[in-house]
Structures are given as structure tokens and as C-alpha cells.
Amino acid sequence: MEHSSPLADAIARAEQIGAAHLLPLLRAARAGAINLAFVGRGTAAPMGRLKRSLRPVVALVGDDDGAPTGPAGWPQAGTLIHWCAATVVHSAGAEPRHYEAALAGALVHGRMLLIETSTAREADWLALVRRLRPGLPGLIVRVRPDAPAHPRLTAPAGGAIQ
């Protein structure tokens, strides 16, 4: 019987629930290429672990749930922005290629902050990043101007919410 690891379990769960966008990061972490930290709203960021990492790191802030708050709901936002060497502010539907770009950024820059947010809160996050770290390398992934805002809380045509 093959031994299961927490990352192997996370990969299996991501596949089962349709979270394929996370697979590039989870697989890179399982392969030992990066360390991955999911930072929860209102929780302390694991700064000691992030700073001590000998591998590139992706810290992921998930502010695109049903009640996005922008940086106001994330007291650790400033600390994370000062820690990182590059950012991705992601306010669009999640696609694996977006997370592959974040992974590539982490491999180049070492410390990547990936902020998943809503269309409504994107400007708040960008303003904070630009105020605290002008000129910080970053990528903005957003919906097309003619597309519905993110997150879309209804199923797309022909789709289902599980």
C-alpha cells in the first residue's frame, strides 16, 4: 500500500472538487520545488516559516470567497507585501495557467504573494501594494471588460455548481 502525504491528499481533493487551478502549485510543492502557504483571513501569517524557507515560496491569500473584504480584512496584508519579492493580484476565474505564472514568478523571484480577490476588491489590493512597495514586480490577472465580475456566484451556461 502506497503511503499518502498531506500534499498527495490535497492534490487528490483539488482534482475531485474541480480546483485544477491549484494543481501546478500543489504539484510543485510535492516535488520539493517550492514551499506553499495558504494564509487565512484574520490569521497570523506564518512569517517565521516563510522567512526561513530555503526554497522559493508562494503565499496564497484567498480573498475571493463569497464575502471578500480586500486588505481591510487581512491584518497581515502589509507584512506579506513587505516580505514578498513579487505579486500576482488575481481577480478572474481561476485557470491553471494563471497559477503556473505565479509558480514561474516564485522560481524567478523567490518569494511570491498570490492574492486571489474579487473584481470589486482588486483596486484596494493594488493600491496597497503600490503604496507599500512602489515598483514591486507583479502581474495582474483580471476579467475582460466585457465579462461578468469575479467571482461569479452562479453556474455558467451548461455548468453546475457542486
**What pLDDT is attached to residue 144?**
81
Q: Give CA 61 to chain center in angstroms.
A: 5
Query: Whole-model pTM?
Result: 0.86
The segments of the chain whose pLDDT lies below 70 read 1-4, 14, 152-162
- The Cα–Cα gap between 9 and 118 comes to 28
- The Cα–Cα gap between 60 and 63 comes to 9
- Tens-place pLDDT, residues 66-113: 889 999 999 999 999 999 999 999 999 888 999 999 999 999 999 999
**What pLDDT is attached to residue 112?**
98
What is the DSSP code string of 67-84? S--GGGG-TTHHHHHHH-
**What pLDDT is attached to residue 150?**
76
**What pLDDT is attached to residue 157?**
55
The length of the chain in residues reads 162
**What pLDDT is attached to residue 27?**
92
